[in-house]
Every structure is written in C-alpha cells, then in structure tokens.
Chain A
Amino acid sequence: MQGGIGGHVGAPHVPGRVRALTAVVLGAALVLASVAPAPGLTVVDMLGREVTLPALPRRIVSLVPSATELIFALGGEERLVGRTDYCDYPPAASSKPSVGGMLAPNLETMVVLKPDLVIATTSGNREETFTKLTQLGIPVYAIHAARVAEVMDVAARLGTLTGRPAAVTTFVAGLERRLRAVADAVRPYRRPRVLYVLWPEPLIVPARDALVTELIGLAGGESLTAGERGDYPRFSIEAAVARAPEVIVLARHGSGSGPMSRDKWDRLTSLPAVKAGRIHAVDGNLMHRYGPRMVDGVESLARVIHPEAFR
C-alpha cells in the first residue's frame, strides 16, 4: 500500500512524471483491492502507521474536507457517516452530520456516530484528537498531500478503504486527461512570474511544500515564492514587490467573498501586474484542498495566467 509519501518530490510542472507515478500508485491500489475483502485487514496510513481493521470500514468519519470531497467523487459516500463543519462540498455532504470543526471536533458526537474509521490529517487536525480517538479504540487513518502525485495516492487509498477501487481508475484518468489538456494549452507560452496570495494580512504565500505551488506550475506560471522553505510561510511584502510579479492571484476564502484586499495591491502601481491590470481572484478551496476540484483549480489558474491560451 506504500504509494509513497516522500521521495518523489519532482519538478513541479512535469505531467509525464505525474502520470508515471500515478500508474505506480494505481497498481498498488489494485493489488491491495484484490486482498482487501479478507477479514481483519491491516492498512498502512500516510504516516506509515499500521491501522488494523476488522473489515472494510462501513462507518467513516472524515475530519478532512479534501477527503470528504474525494470520498464523494469516488462514490463511496454511503460509508461516510460524519464530516466537519468545513466539509461543504459537494453540497450533498451537508446532509451528513457534522462533528464540529477540524481543530476541536466534538468527541462525544463522534463516538455516538460509532465510526469504524476516522480519516484525519497532520495538517489541520490536532494531535490530541488523534491520541484520544486511538485511546477510545477508534482507528484513525492519517492522510496528507502536498503534491499532485500524492493527491492521486490519497484518492487510491480512499478508494480502497471505501471499496471503490475501480472508481479510482476512472477518477485518476479523468484528472490526468484534464491536466494534460491544460499543459498542452499553456505549453507555447512564456511562464509569467506569479505571486499567489493565500492571505493578505499578514501576507501568507505558498512555498516549496505547498500543493498550490505545483498547481501554478501546471497552469503554466512560475510561482515567485516556490523556492521558500516550508508550505505556507509568512512573507514580506517588500520581498514580494521586489520580485516584480507579472500576475497576482488572490485567493478567495468562502464563496461570495470578493477578492481579498485588492486595493492594497492596486496602490502598488509600479508593479508589472498592476500596470497590466493582472490582479485576479480565484476560489481558494480549489487550490488549498487536495480534492477532486484541484483540477478545476489548475484550469482556473491557467485561465488567469494565460488568458491568451483560452480565447
């Protein structure tokens, strides 16, 4: 089951490589799927922990919005009995009972749902929740993805856990096809310097270990902050300005909210991006979650980075 979480941190914009990796992941998933129905299965989660389950889980609580989206996308939602307040997509997810926020989900509510597996993440959930659930005898399966290949890995794992391995193949093929289409469309053009603003005040940007950084590359841009350490560091606005962004992408958080602090950037009239009027807003949920809509994220990024390619 080790599709691998570390190791294959490749150049961010090489779809061919992504394809090769997903083939490996898929292969692993298929092999696992053939042995999965055996009673008492042991799976290895993305922290490398062994998780022993009496059978394939039938009552899953997802503490990760990305996982909730993936489970629905793979058609495994029948097995999903709980979600967090942030699991707002697809709309049908809101018909599942919520166990509260990601940081402090309500343990009582969770226990009452009688989950036989809780999907959690190292980025967004707290270790205390993890420990407490384990003490209560509820198996916890940890996931995390910061690369497109890892998203495919997460999908394969969730497909296996929800008994939908066949759906994974279709799902991954669909994602790859759309990624390839974007890659083909933007290939002829020069890669502009893109400043992605995750949060304006304080300025938070995606760095080396952020999924968004790879998505920007796939969309034919060059993230100005791709070389910084970590995933989502705070960044000095001076340094951002000094790198002369040609396109500024502002993440919107939650539907309905306008571009975040656009005027702050509009005032910096010497920036190439401002001169050219290239300040754009995108839906942050498409970029920061590692769910099925990640490809919508790449497509919307490609449209703002290379409008000429989509006329």
Chain B
Amino acid sequence: MTRLGRLVGVLVLLGVGLVAAVTIAVFLGSARLSPATVLQVLTGGASAGSTESVVILSLRLPRIAAAMLAGGALAVAGVGFQGLTRNPLAEPSVLGVSSGAAFGVVIAQLMGSTGAVVDALKVTAFGFGGALVAGAAVYLIASVHGGFPIQTLLLSGVIVGIFFASAVTVLTSLVDINRLGGIIHWLLGNIAPLPGPTLLLFAALAVLGFGLIVSQARELNVLALGEEAALQLGVNTERLKLQVFVAAALLTASVVAFAGPIGFVGLIVPHILRLLLGPDNRFLVPTAMVGGGIFLLLADTVARNIVAPAELSVGVITALFGAPFFVYLLRTRHRGVL
C-alpha cells in the first residue's frame, strides 16, 4: 500500500473507532438507561432537569470529553518524549515525569482548594513545575555525549519516578487520615465528569501542548537522524528540544492535575500508530491525539461499567495492559540492547 493509502486507511480507522468508542461510552453506564432514552436525550427530546438528561449531559458527556482529552494529551506527550529521546520506550510514566507532576499536584492539593477554576489552574501550574523538574532530572542523568542510551534513560526514569513517588508518600503520611483516601484515589488515576470551565481549561492546555509539538513534527523527524545531522540540516536543535520537552511536560501535568497519573497510554498508542503509519511525526502527532482519546475512553468505559455501581480506577486498567505491553516491546524490539 502507498503511504497515502495507509494514511487514509488509518484516518478512516480512527474515525470509525472514535464514533464507536463515544457511542459505547454514551450508551453504557450504571444508570441502565435504554438506548431509546439515550437517543431521546441526545436529540433534545428530554426535559432539561430530568434524571436521564442529567445522567447523559452532566455526567457521561463531560466524562467522555475528559477521558478523550486526557488520552490524547498522554499519547501526544508520549510521541514528544519519544522523538526527543529518539527512544520508543520513552513515555511520561516510564520517564518519571508523571511522578514529578503528581508531587507538584499533591503539594497544591494540600494547600487547600475551593473547587474553582483558579484552583484547577494552580494545581496544573504546580504539576507543571514538578513535571519540568522530574523531566530535566532524567534528561541530565541520562544524557551521555548528547545521546540517550536506552538503559540509562529507562533507569534514570525509574529512579526519578521512585524519588518523586517517595516524596508523595512523605506528604501523604503527614496528611490527616480523612484526606488520605481522597489523595490515594486520585493517585490511582480516575476520570471524572469535570465541570464546564475546568473542562475548557483542560482542552485549552491540551491544544496548546499539541500545537507546540505538532509545529515541530518535521524537525523531530530530522532529529531522528541524530543531533549532529539535524544541526547540519539547519534545525535549531536546542530550541526544538526545549519546546517539545516543555510541551510534553505541560500535557503530562494537565492530565495528572485533572485525572491523576495514568500510565502507559503514551507508550501503547504511539507504538500501534507507528506500526501502521511508520515513524513520520507529522502523521503520528495528530493521529496520536485521536488514538489516545479513543484508547483512554474505552479504558474508562470499562472502568465505569465492569464492577458497577462501584468503579475501578482507569489508571489501574491502563497499567494492567501497559506493563505487559512494555515487556513485549522490550523483549522483541529491543533485544539487541539487553
């Protein structure tokens, strides 16, 4: 198949997948509304305050939007970190960046909140700070002669991740037992139906991060040839690396702030897309945004329904899939280095 043909194929696949995932998610839930009722609400046929419309419009749809934004942001952050380190195993949680963001977010949460959008912004800002510190630490530890040997990168990610996870544990052992449960719940990674203004803020941050990375997609392709080659081809590699790094950290931080640290989405989704599309970042970044959204939405729909009326944490589900997938990648794609 030609490259264009593949691209069209993948776009069709994503389009169908998106529609299917949203449909499943909007029709399934513990409220057990009949498909006819759901359709009636969606077509505006139900009265505004009715139970059905509250369930669909105030609970399911905002949650679907939050899941898609979080998934898309994580997958794009994954592509960004992978391009930056020229390493397909790089990903926010593997690199310890999620843990850094979580540390920042917990600090902000302990400072108290009022539930307003200003709080959401504050929490994200702290998460962003944590993500930058953790990312920079991994970068400095792992960089050997301008490159990132895979073992060093993974080990530094693990170490930085452990460090920040321990820092979070220190904070949680100091908090009042009544708040502990809430923090642990959040640390497991959970998608919630976010209120409108918060959802808009999340969307704005996701679009900003996406824009910063997609605008450097061509340069990221060149960087894949090596830093020296990229420099000779006229790419401002320092600026490129900084921009992609900051954007990926921002995406990670916003997801951690609004949904908690959810792992492995940035690993699984870009990898599958790379198998279908090849390594061209100009295609990978936009398709990762959509593909990540579909993936996390499906995972969250499982989390929401499998033990209803109780719920699982979506972070647990992505990790249950992601960890074996990581091992598979390590054993098949990176045999040489082990």
Contact = CB atoms under 8 A, between A and B. Distances in A.
Answer yes or no: are A and B bound together in one complex.
Answer: yes
Interface of A: 85, 98-104, 106-109, 111-112, 114, 122-124, 126-128, 131-132, 135-137, 204, 230-234
B30 A106 contact: yes
A111 B51 contact: yes
Interface stretch (B185-193, B265-273, B288-296, B322-330): B185-193
Contact of A127 (B31, B58, B115, B173): B115
Contacts of B286: none
8 contacts: A103-B185, A104-B310, A106-B308, A122-B178, A126-B181, A127-B182, A128-B182, A132-B195
Interface string B191-218: 0110100000000000000000000000
Contacts of A103: 181-182, 185
Interface string B83-121: 000000000000000000000000000000101000000
Contacts of B195: 131-132, 135
Contacts of A124: 178, 181
Given A124-B181, A231-B178, A109 B309 contact: yes
Given A136-B54, A231-B177, A126 B185 contact: yes
B40 to A, nearest CB: 16
B185 A104 contact: yes
Best-buried of A98, A99, A136, A233 by chain B (most CB within 10 Å): A136
Contacts of B173: 234
A135 B58 contact: yes
Contacts of B32: 112
Contacts of A131: 115, 195
Nearest to B195: A135
Interface in B120-162: none
List the 5 closest pairs (A to B, CB-CB), nearest first: A123-B178, A108-B31, A106-B309, A109-B309, A126-B182
Interface of B: 29-32, 49, 51, 54-55, 58-60, 113, 115, 173, 176-178, 181-182, 185, 190, 192-193, 195, 308-311
A132 B29 CA distance: 17
Given A103-B185, A131-B115, A109 B190 contact: no
Nearest to B31: A108
A132 B193 contact: yes
A112 B182 CA distance: 24
Nearest to B181: A103
Contact of A112 (B31, B58, B115, B176): B31
Given A108-B30, A124-B181, A126-B181, A114 B51 contact: yes
B181 A111 contact: no
A104 B311 contact: yes
Contacts of B115: 127-128, 131
Contacts of A126: 181-182, 185
Contacts of B193: 107, 132
